[in-house]
Amino acid sequence: MSDHTLDRVAIGRWLAIWAGSLFLLVLIGGGTRLTESGLSITEWKPISGVVPPFTEAAWTAEFEKYKQIPQYARLNVGMTLGDFKGIFWWEFLHRFAARFIGGLFVIPFFWFALRKRIPRDLLPRLATLGVLMGLQGAMGWYMVASGLTERVNVSQYRLAAHLSLALVIYLLTVWTADSLIHNRGSTVASSRQSEEARARGWLGALFGLAFATVISGAFVAGLRAGKIYNEFPMMGAGFVPAEYSSITPWWKNLFENAAAAQFDHRVLAIVTLFAVLAGWFRLRANASPALRMRMHLVLGAVGLQVALGITVLLLGVPVLVGVAHQAGALLVLTALTLALRQAQTA
């Protein structure tokens, strides 16, 4: 194996590890949201913010800052310092993990770069990941800032944007790592190559549908819509909630009506399940063994995610099950990304 190939595989393994850390970071963010901890730190200090409060005076100062925002006045008035520490540590963990994982990208990047081991064609992709990572930090603060003045929580629009950018970074990393580690060239027959080439459109559509479903879940989270209609498949007296179109103009119901957001998320999830089932039946017979295996993973991940979604709804969104549901969403998108990349190699 040539040095050039070894470098590509080594970079791919580094990115695979980094993708795993990004996976964990998204779950920590989900836990921070589910515990209503995201507004506990009211300032953005990229450097000094890495050090938590250690003295009682420092803790009291942080608590006093939190008392100045609407969330405390409207939802948590009377909270003790001990209660505040509980939510503070969630948000601190999220911010600290983001900085640490940023270092897991920057330090190896410069290590490879200084040794001139980064192939020229990879530099734009890696530079894009670095820029997106910086933008994600700014987006995170932009989201938090929306809940510090008038609202008691962050804007669902900014929450969806923050999650969307996190997913783009994660999935781009997964795609790149897989292409570097497993790109051995296509050796399948031309007829099978043609079949897998036709599969790209179908898999691309499935990916788009699954991505839209996940982002619709961000609106469910932002509107706390999982706390209502904790039943399935009914929503009150019918399948469609009575207040589905209660906001005008009508399109605002999609993004600002909690009942509508939950209903839309349910519908998208079920449509995704049946679309994946159809795709699995359509592609499995003529696909290569590698693509067939990845389609099995897609089907398993979607089935698990639907089960988790119904469970978290019926239980009223407990934190651990909610985080598991978010992990399931990442698994679905990961499996679809790997399947789509496999089809792209045909």
Average per-residue pLDDT for the chain: 93
Q: What is the pTM of this model?
A: 0.94
Instruction: Say yes or no to pLDDT of 183 above 80.
Output: no
| CA separation for the pair 128, 165 (Å, rounded) | 12
CB 154 within 8 A of CB 146: yes
pLDDT band at 284; cut points 50, 70, 90 = confident
Name every residue whose Cβ is closer than 8 Å to that of residue 17 and which is 6 or more positions away in sequence. 104
| Percentage of residues of the chain with pLDDT beyond 70 | 95
Looking at residue 78, the DSSP 8-state letter turns out to be T
pLDDT in tens, 92-148: 999 999 999 999 999 999 999 999 999 999 999 999 999 999 999 999 999 999 999
Closest alpha carbon to 91 in 107, 108, 71:
71
Q: What is the pLDDT of residue 95?
A: 96
CB 334 within 8 A of CB 171: yes
pLDDT in tens, 316-331: 999 999 999 999 999 9
CB 213 within 8 A of CB 309: no
| CA separation for the pair 134, 105 (Å, rounded) | 11
Q: Compute the radius of gyration of the chain from its Cα atoms.
A: 22
Looking at residue 248, the DSSP 8-state letter turns out to be S
pLDDT in tens, 55-68: 999 999 999 999 99
CB 255 within 8 A of CB 216: no
